[in-house]
Structure 1
Amino acid sequence: MRSRCSSSRKLDVAHGFGFTVKNGLFAAVLGSLLLLGRADHYQCAASDLVYSPTLTPFIDALPIPPVIDIWNGSQIVLGAYKITQVLHSNLSATTLYAYGVSEATATYPGPTLEAKRNTTSYVRFDNCITDNETFLVTDRTLAWANPPNGGVPIVTHLHGGQFQSDSDGHPDGWYTNGGDHGSTFTSENHTYPNYQPAALLFYHDHTVGITRITVASGLTGLYIIRSPSEEPANLPTGSNEIPLIILDKTFWANGSIAFPDTGDSPDNHPNWCPGYYGDTILVNGKVWPYLEVFPEMYRFRILNGANARFYTLTLSNDTLEFIQIGTDGGFLPDPLYLSEITLAPAYRADVLIDFTNMTVGSVVYMNNSALAPFPDNTAILNPSTVNSVREFRIIARNGSGPRYSVPSNMTAATNTTYDLTTDGYRNFTFDETLDADGNRIKILLNNATWTDTVTETPTLGTLEIWDLINFLPDAHPIHIHLINFLVVYQQSFNATAYTANECSAVP
């Protein structure tokens, strides 16, 4: 059954960045979107509920992913490998898929790729995974890659990037180690012109039907575009600039990932669960790590890498604050001084924290106060363990350290005025199909499935306003590939009246 009557349309634009709506209607032109709603359908998130073994927090140091400069014009090759890695000292090694220049150096998260604005980078992603199937359960009733000769398909997408579509990592452009490939496959080689503003992006597997599985298995890493002409003066650099990929997982006693494999509606989709909520928090591939910091200013490049969990980050010492200088799309026009930052899955934030006045030997905690599902609360998805993220330990520096400062002038990131004389409007509804018991079977955009005929074909160079109307019971981040966009307005609406009005126009 379909719960709305809008006509079936499918969009032929690749997916880009992020914003937020609660049971609402959004208009957007050109960035990243979040549609918020109630959160009713989470039966399967707890149907296979297990609890991780007891893990002592803050006994492992925060790892920093290796960095690879990719701005010299030469192609680099990253492989996707099957590895094992210790994610907590009290856990046995965890089986993962991971990116690296070799199997021996592959890590979770993958290496951070650093590019330079307006300098083209070339990356080849090889599939070196020889498994016959994913080690987390694939629901084969979904639209998915289904390689005819088995294997684990991959295709890598650079989230937030602006480039030609043949380097976008289209979900049907997958390929296996054995040579099978999807209908839109062109090459393992990706070309990134990096002409967009300096920003934090991330890359991840994007294979149709199994992205949630392969990313949970480890196939993700950061991508930073740098631009000296945009960079405000005197920001923290080197060891004072630190990436943070925050996400949640649950583990079996043997260290393996406990991922739901019983669906909301088993008669329709035996293994598909709409959301995954873990009971431990990982940062850069370690459970509840600590970081030793000097009494100095630090810059943190933060990604919410979770499947479904939102994070509202706070600091335990109320003399400290987040100074946000950038978002998904680049630098802000002016710094924001915040006591908390809320990040939806895939959202990024560029923040400063100034520990200068902290006493050596003191400890500060980064905590999480967001409820799950966001913004509502299902107690079973909110164990006390997900309130802690990581620990900062203030240590003494031998000799004088660098003196960094909050930018007083961020003129490179000026406010942009857009001419909203548009070339057209489009409406897109987000809705779900339920079974007879009210359990979710699928989530739909304008009642169209992945395999339906494309109906939306925007013209290159035009400016359109899209109304995104959320009927879902979930908070749902949205981004549009290949472009950035601007939120024009947000409003609540009467869903019953809106549906009645729309349905009256449908034959």
Structure 2
Amino acid sequence: MGRIERGCAKSSKRYVMACWFVLHVILSSISMVTAEHSVCLALQPSPALTPFVDKLPIPPTINVSNGTRLVLGAYKITQKLHRDLPPTTLYAYGTSQASASFPGPTLMAKKYITTSVRWENHIIDTEHMFTVDRSIHWADPPNGGVPMVVHLHGSETRSDSDGHPDAWFTAAGDVGPTFTSQNYVYPNDQEEALLWYHDHTVGMTRLNSAAGMVGLYFIKSVVEEALLLPSGPFEIPLVIQDRNFWANGSINFPDTGIFPEHPNWCPDYYGDTILVNGKVWPYLEVYRTKYRFRMLTAGNARFFNFSLSEPSLSFVQIGTDGGFLNKPLTMKTLLMAPAYRTDMIIDFSSLPVGTKVYMNNSAPIFFPGTPPPGTSIDNSPGQRQVMEFRVVAPPPGYNMPTVYVPSILAPTPDKNLNPYTDVQRNLTLNLSPPGTPFTLLLNNHRFMDPATESPKLYTTEIWSITNLIGTTHPIHIHLINFLMLDMQTFDQGRLNAGNCSLALQFPDPLSCFIEPPQPPIDAQAGWKDTIIVFDQKVTRLLLRWKPRYGVFTFDPTTEPGYVWHCHMLDHEDNDMMRPLVMRWI
């Protein structure tokens, strides 16, 4: 079976679809005769659930803008995720067992005011709720239990507060090789933005995240608060994920893999239901005014391409991973990869009371290709619907706040490469060689191989990332925000045959490129910490190893260092991650 999928991934796009279809048929047959197991890419469908019967919940908030120390733990809880589902067992963050929730509490921080968090592990299970694949590199605590470590995604912080994958710890007291402390410090000396915290344990990130270990983190500023953007009840967080469920409410996560060498690991987990803020297909009542939505796509592998059912409405994007865009972007569709954040406005003021608007998703699994024929997980209506907006009248005498979306939100990002670029790195996304255990790799290296990316602080680099895998991947780089310069399609067949070169520019007949460099699409605009690297393209990034403005207020060269990795969590867990070691000289 491993050879089948490896062949699918290496084949031409047309052959990929046929190959995946054959694989799906085989796996569907397996699932029929092993119904007690959850087979990778052939999960039993979730029970039929009526959409739009649960009101959108808003995660609880904790104000950390006064600099006081916070203690947050991970707990085992149960929570109702749909009216017609029994309570679901989860691992979730909170200040106590009683207050823990999925998603976890939203932390509200203030720019330039440090946040201190002590992260605790109160999950006393001897085994994880999902099956752990012991064939891949994972935490493997000596005394069992559920290891955890928290990464504040998008944060500029010391590496010993970054949630290094090997800095895990358990409730029983076992710790990973790079563990130093459970006390983390977040300086918040960066631009106002939406960050998020999630588990980052080596070989187990996909499991802990699917179990519920995720939450939001806002950095606010006096500048943002002075703007007349929608705020308070008109600023709505949306954490969007996908899951499969059993009839008893438990999460259906694969326990049977498709590679003999990896008996339990699945390369991609896709759910057939969409959750927003921990509810399946919820609804939100809105007034006839502008709303600001702070969106995070936090699934294991799923891309989303959002649209609105009302033709007169558009998304007005004002921010991305790293904060405000230079100016608003108006669009009919909104593409988001795993770990993407989008700050956007929807104006409902033109719609009469009683109107219902649906936010839908058109992105297929195995994005961006056409899903294999007969792949039921992608054809079910549940993949296409996200949530419902219901336009309602405000209470009598309600004073609607004045809101305004500025035409200029932030300085234009500087993509000037002068006076010079210090380093140009050519990197690849690729599969492990034939005859070896199946893994997805960065630059042909595994996570535990010695660091090859060791940038010098306050220098500028261009990363040219060549995707040779056959599928599209979101790449996340810790510590800094970066800018995308361009992307360029190449002929992988000629490249594999060795009769062209990526070192030669289009339209040289010996160049592998089949087009000039293309500018970033809207989904890749602005300051990013995660970027889509499309199949059979070279994606070029501009990285300045410094804060957006000024200097770091901490030493980024201390141990254990940072990482960069694919943010499809199933890939990250199977070696698609590399160390990132900063240096002064």
Aligned residue-pair number = 469
- By how many angstroms is 1:232 displaced? 6.5
Equivalent of residue 73 in structure 1, options 67, 76, 97: 67
CA distance in 2, matches of 1:409, 1:313: 23
CA distance in 2, matches of 1:47, 1:497: 31
Which letter does structure 2 place at the counterpart of 1:292? E
SS of residue matched to 1:303: strand
Structure 2 match to 1:389: 386
Which letter does structure 2 place at the counterpart of 1:401? N
CA distance in 2, matches of 1:350, 1:38: 35
- By how many angstroms is 1:250 displaced? 0.6
Structure 2 match to 1:423: 422
Map of 1:490-505 to 2, 5 A cutoff? 490-499=487-496, 500=498
Structure 2 match to 1:356: 349
Equivalent of residue 463 in structure 1, options 460, 463, 468: 460
Q: Does 1:268 align with 2:236?
A: no
Q: CA RMSD in A?
A: 2.4
- Residue by residue, what CA displacement relative to the aligned partner does 1:346-389 show, whole Å, maximum 9, x if unpaired? 11100111111211112111111111111112233312211110
Over 3 Å counting, the alpha-carbon distance change for 1:278 and 1:263 in structure 2 is: same
Over 3 Å counting, the alpha-carbon distance change for 1:502 and 1:175 in structure 2 is: farther
Q: Which has the higher contact order (CA 8 A, sep 6+)?
A: 1
Q: Does 1:194 align with 2:188?
A: yes
Structure 2 match to 1:19: none
CA distance in 2, matches of 1:497, 1:154: 44
CA distance in 1, matches of 2:261, 2:488: 35
SS of residue matched to 1:182: coil
Map of 1:87-126 to 2, 5 A cutoff? 87-126=81-120
Conserved? CA contact 2:296–2:340, under 8 Å: yes
**If each structure's strand is expressed as a fraction of its own residues, which one has the higher value?**
1
Map of 1:14-413 to 2, 5 A cutoff? 47-230=41-224, 233-265=227-259, 267-378=260-371, 379-382=375-378, 383-398=380-395, 399-413=397-411
- By how many angstroms is 1:440 displaced? 7.8
Which letter does structure 2 place at the counterpart of 1:176? T
Which letter does structure 2 place at the counterpart of 1:244? L
- By how many angstroms is 1:411 displaced? 4.6
State the TM-score, normalizing by the size of structure 1: 0.88
- By how many angstroms is 1:428 displaced? 1.1
Over 3 Å counting, the alpha-carbon distance change for 1:407 and 1:501 in structure 2 is: same
SS of residue matched to 1:147: coil
CA distance in 1, matches of 2:198, 2:219: 16
- By how many angstroms is 1:403 displaced? 3.7
- By how many angstroms is 1:343 displaced? 0.5
Query: Share of identical aligned residues, percent?
Result: 52
- By how many angstroms is 1:270 displaced? 0.2
SS of residue matched to 1:385: helix
- Residue by residue, what CA displacement relative to the aligned partner does 1:259-300 show, whole Å, maximum 9, x if unpaired? 1121121x2000111111111110000001011111111110
Structure 1 match to 2:565: none
Conserved? CA contact 1:230–1:412, under 8 Å: no
CA distance in 2, matches of 1:411, 1:480: 25
CA distance in 1, matches of 2:483, 2:406: 25
- By how many angstroms is 1:231 displaced? 5.2
CA distance in 2, matches of 1:340, 1:74: 41
Which letter does structure 2 place at the counterpart of 1:166? D
- By how many angstroms is 1:456 displaced? 2.7
Structure 2 match to 1:7: none
SS of residue matched to 1:272: coil
Conserved? CA contact 2:256–2:265, under 8 Å: yes
Structure 1 match to 2:552: none
SS of residue matched to 2:432: strand
Conserved? CA contact 2:116–2:184, under 8 Å: yes
Unpaired stretches in structure 1, ≥5 consecutive residues: 3-22, 24-36
CA distance in 1, matches of 2:139, 2:353: 54
- By how many angstroms is 1:415 displaced? 3.4
- Residue by residue, what CA displacement relative to the aligned partner does 1:313-356 show, whole Å, maximum 9, x if unpaired? 11111111111110111101111111110101111100111111
Equivalent of residue 440 in structure 2, options 432, 440, 443: 443
SS of residue matched to 2:383: helix
SS of residue matched to 1:441: coil
- Residue by residue, what CA displacement relative to the aligned partner does 1:385-438 show, whole Å, maximum 9, x if unpaired? 1111011111111224324444234354443344341111111111112667xx
- By how many angstroms is 1:302 displaced? 0.4
Conserved? CA contact 1:232–1:407, under 8 Å: no
Which letter does structure 2 place at the counterpart of 1:478? I
SS of residue matched to 1:229: helix
**If each structure's helix is expressed as a fraction of its own residues, which one has the higher value?**
2
Conserved? CA contact 2:328–2:409, under 8 Å: no
- By how many angstroms is 1:119 displaced? 1.3
CA distance in 2, matches of 1:319, 1:406: 19
Which letter does structure 2 place at the counterpart of 1:427? N
State the TM-score, normalizing by the size of structure 2: 0.76
Conserved? CA contact 2:41–2:270, under 8 Å: no
Over 3 Å counting, the alpha-carbon distance change for 1:503 and 1:130 in structure 2 is: farther
Unpaired stretches in structure 2, ≥5 consecutive residues: 4-9, 28-38, 504-585
- By how many angstroms is 1:177 displaced? 0.6
